[in-house]
Amino acid sequence: MAASPPQAVSIVLVGMPGCGKSTVGRHLARQFGYRFTDSDSDIEARLGHSIREHFERYGEASFRDLEQTVIGELSGEGRVVLATGGGAVLREVNRLALRRGGNRVVYLRSSPEELARRLRHDTQRPLLQGGDALKKLRDLFRVRDPLYREVAHYVIDAGRTSLPTLVNLVAMQ
């Protein structure tokens, strides 16, 4: 088992939808004795309905405003493993918030092709609905990969790595 990070540090996981942020985050939190939180789950709890429904009713800009508020609150807590939504890095204010304090940001990188394979039956992610999911993932990746890299302290290939190996790779950082 890896040593626990310093007390005030939070671990922030960023990456494309379906790369494993929530799954890895839950395991890391358990391993370090930290609280786990997922910004998208927090947002849904506040809304009282799904993010997909919010996108349909109010649009992406409204969602990103709420996401910014939630990221600002959650990224300031210590001893938390925070799994962010895939688009959390789109706003500079979020990228700054994610890196503040003693936070350690880890980018779980997966190729669009691997993500398409993992998400082929997913019906809940609003930006991937309708049309060619692989093309959409490639387009999202092209925009987001540089932003994930900008905010990350560490980049870990999450492609076909097993969950235990991935958790250990993140913990060792």
pLDDT tens per residue across span 25-75: 999 999 999 999 999 999 999 999 988 889 889 988 999 999 999 999 988
String of DSSP letters for 115-137: HHHHTTT----GGG-SS-HHHHH
Residue 11 near residue 106 (C-beta atoms within 8 A):
yes
Q: What is the mean pLDDT of the chain?
A: 85
* Helix, strand, coil share of the chain (percent; to 5): 55, 15, 35
Q: Centre a 10 Å sphere on the Cβ of residue 52 and count the other Cβ atoms it contains.
A: 16
- 169 closest CA partner among 76, 159, 9: 159
Neighbours of 124 (CB within 10 A): 13
pLDDT digit string, tens, across residues 80-92: 999 999 999 999 9
Cβ–Cβ under 8 Å, residues 119 and 128: yes
Name the pLDDT band for 132 (thresholds 50, 70, 90).
Answer: confident
In which band, very low, low, confident or very high, does the pLDDT at 167 lie, cut at 50, 70 and 90?
confident
